[in-house]
Amino acid sequence: MAIDPDELRRRAQEISWFHTMDLAPGVRTAGVYDPARTLPRLALPARLDGRTVLDVGAWDGFYSFEMERRGADVVATDHYSWGGGGWGSRAGFDLAHAALASRVRAVRIDPMDLSPDAVGGVFDVVLLLGVLYHVREPLRLLERVRSVTGELLVLETEVGMLLTRRAAAEFFPGTELNDDPTNWWAPNVAAVAGMLRAAGYGDVDVVWRRSLPLRAAKWVARRRRRDRISLLHALTTDRFVFHARAR
């Protein structure tokens, strides 16, 4: 049954949203992050009919519902946000699921516990967006994700030490990265590619990155907003998107 627009709007206003997204005509969530702006970076086809997709760390579910809109059979998973470990909850996902009359299946599971048995099989496409740098053991996570990847992993993550070519990773024991104690690692490109191959993936490609001049421009914009970040950090740390093919 469709939710009355006024009731939907009222319920949406009671939720702390991470994702900004449209729930119905004229009903848009007040998220802190608009994933529609960065969606093209994932370099996924406009249609995914007949494909299966696993969204690891779905939170409010924007990417899960978008993959469903593109024709995929989708399973959304989360643990930290849905379990109340952060400032989020599963309330946004559940309301969006109802408002969109979605058939996305939801599984609450720690990503370290991923397995074909736990999530219902192996998936053509796995989304691991904004998750890797939040775990203490990134290589172990990639091994668990590989166990459920049939063809393609789309990995979006913080990448650091961009002026270092050898495989290396920057460690954040406190709140050094974005004032967030759950941010642990920023491996460089060589380290990300090496970990992906060690986890069992074959071809690894960087499908989106911000150029050095654009990273500098981003730093200038953040300074205008009085964000406290050094120029060196801005030039050597950024978000990248990788495609990794299962062997």
Give residue-wise pLDDT tens across range 90-103: 999 999 999 999 99
Please report the pLDDT score of residue 77 as a whole number. Answer: 98
Beta pairing partners, 122 = none
Q: Are 54 and 67 in contact (CB under 8 A)?
A: no
Q: Tokens for 228?
A: 């406290």
Q: Could you list the pLDDT tens digit for every one of the 247 residues in the chain?
A: 679 999 999 999 999 999 999 999 999 999 999 999 999 999 999 999 999 999 999 999 999 999 999 999 999 999 999 987 767 799 999 999 999 999 999 999 999 999 999 999 999 999 999 999 999 999 999 999 999 999 999 999 999 999 888 999 999 888 877 777 888 899 999 999 999 999 999 999 999 999 888 888 888 887 766 666 788 777 888 999 999 999 8
DSSP tally for the chain: helices H, then strands E: 9, 11
Provide Rg for the chain, Cα atoms. 18
201 vs 215: CA distance, rounded Å: 29
Give dist(CA 170, CA 173) in Å, integer: 10
pLDDT at 223 (0 to 100): 72
Structural domains in the chain plus CATH codes: 49-246 (3.40.50.150)
pTM: 0.94
